[in-house]
Structure 1
Amino acid sequence: MEKFDKLTAIAAPLPQINVDTDMIIPKQYLKTIKRSGLGVALFDEMRYGDDGRENPDFVLNQEPWRDAEILVTGANFGCGSSREHAPWAIKDFGIRCIIAPSYADIFYNNCFKNGILPVTLPQEQVDRLMEDAQQGGNARITVDLENQVIVGADGTEYRFEIDPFKKHCLLEGLDDIGLTLERASEIDAYESRVAAERPWV
């Protein structure tokens, strides 16, 4: 998993509450078990018309937000079903950080397991960063995970809290498999000991 330390990027504004996982990635895309290739279907029903053409009014179809790596959005982001395809699609599109007042719990935890930093800030601070995001490419936002601070386009700093274990995993690029491999030598030693003590197993 890619490490997350410090990110300075264009932020896309999505001022909408209760964006559920079906809006993030519709059910027809859930057949795949691959984490790649889903970015094109992110926000499918908002990004495309019935004819498959891009909706020019949707923010991620507009310059410069096509290249956004940060998403600033409304409360209860990621609600609905617990599909892990939602963070897969977000990450595959190129978004590495989401800023919102609140998240659905399962989606929030799935973000960390897929290298995405979901930052929770008070509504008034999200509103200010939403204004920054609406300015486009001239108003880049910096997210500093190590120091737990977001720096807005005007230099205003917004501190955020994060679970120390989740922070460690993002900084080191550790998903569940990576965490297990950190203990590889202990696992090998255990298996060798068991094999010697109980060769019949």
Structure 2
Amino acid sequence: MDKFTKVTGIAAPMPLVNIDTDMIIPKQFLKTIKRSGLGVHAFDEMRYDDDGNENPDFVLNKPAYREAQVLVAGDNFGCGSSREHAPWALADFGIRVIVSTSFADIFYNNCFKNGMLPIVLPEEQVQVLMKDAEKGANARMEIDLENQTITASDGESFSFDIDPFRKHCLLEGLDDIGLTMEKAAAIDTFESQASQSRPWV
């Protein structure tokens, strides 16, 4: 998992509330266990028409937001079923940060495990960032994880809270496997001692 320190990028406004995981990645794309290749299907039903053509009115199809790394969303983002493919699809599209007033718990946790930063802010601050995101490609936000700040294109900055352990994992690029590998020496020592003391196991 890549280390997360700072992200400076285009923010896409998505003011819809209750965007669920089926909207993020529809069920027909859940057959794969690969994390790559799902970005093209992110928000599939809103992004394409029945013939597979792009919907020009959908925000991520607009030229200004095709390279968006930040998503400013409505309340209760990531609700619905607990599919890990949802953060996989967003990450594969290029989204590194999602800002909302609230997230569904399972989606929120899955974001951290996939190197993404979900930021919870009060409604009035989200609305300021939503309006900033509506400016298009010229409005770039900066998210500084170390200092826990998000700064709009006009310089207005907001602080956000994050669990210290999750912050550490993002800064160091540690997913569950990476955390385990940090303990590799201790695990090897334990296994060696266990095989000597209990050779019958």
Is 1:8 matched with 2:29?
Answer: no
SS of the aligned residue for 2:72 comes to strand
- CA offset at residue 192 of structure 1? 0.2
1:154-191 CA-partner distances (Å, limit 9, x unpaired): 10110000000000000000000000000000000000
Q: What's 1:174 paired with? A: 174
Q: Which runs of structure 2 are paired with 1:158-169 in the superposition (5 Å)?
A: 158-169=158-169
Q: Which runs of structure 2 are paired with 1:50-89 in the superposition (5 Å)?
A: 50-89=50-89
Q: What's 1:32 paired with? A: 32
Letter in 1 for 2:117: L
Letter in 2 for 1:87: P
SS of the aligned residue for 2:66 comes to helix
Letter in 1 for 2:157: E
Is 1:150 matched with 2:156?
Answer: no
Q: What's 2:118 paired with? A: 118
Q: What's 1:100 paired with? A: 100
- CA offset at residue 64 of structure 1? 1.6
Aligned counterparts of 2:2 and 2:75: Cα–Cα separation in 1: 27
Aligned counterparts of 1:120 and 1:108: Cα–Cα separation in 2: 10
- CA offset at residue 137 of structure 1? 1.3
Q: What's 2:137 paired with? A: 137
Is 1:197 matched with 2:181?
Answer: no
Aligned counterparts of 1:60 and 1:177: Cα–Cα separation in 2: 32
Aligned counterparts of 2:5 and 2:102: Cα–Cα separation in 1: 22
- CA offset at residue 125 of structure 1? 0.5
Aligned counterparts of 1:4 and 1:67: Cα–Cα separation in 2: 18
Aligned counterparts of 1:107 and 1:143: Cα–Cα separation in 2: 20
Aligned counterparts of 1:139 and 1:96: Cα–Cα separation in 2: 16
Letter in 2 for 1:56: P
Q: What's 1:90 paired with? A: 90
Computed over aligned residues only, the root mean square deviation of the Cα atoms, in angstroms, reads 0.5
Aligned counterparts of 2:67 and 2:39: Cα–Cα separation in 1: 12
TM-score (norm 1): 0.99
Aligned counterparts of 2:74 and 2:61: Cα–Cα separation in 1: 19
TM-score (norm 2): 0.99
Aligned counterparts of 1:138 and 1:76: Cα–Cα separation in 2: 28
Structure 2 residue runs without a partner (length 5+): none
SS of the aligned residue for 1:17 comes to coil
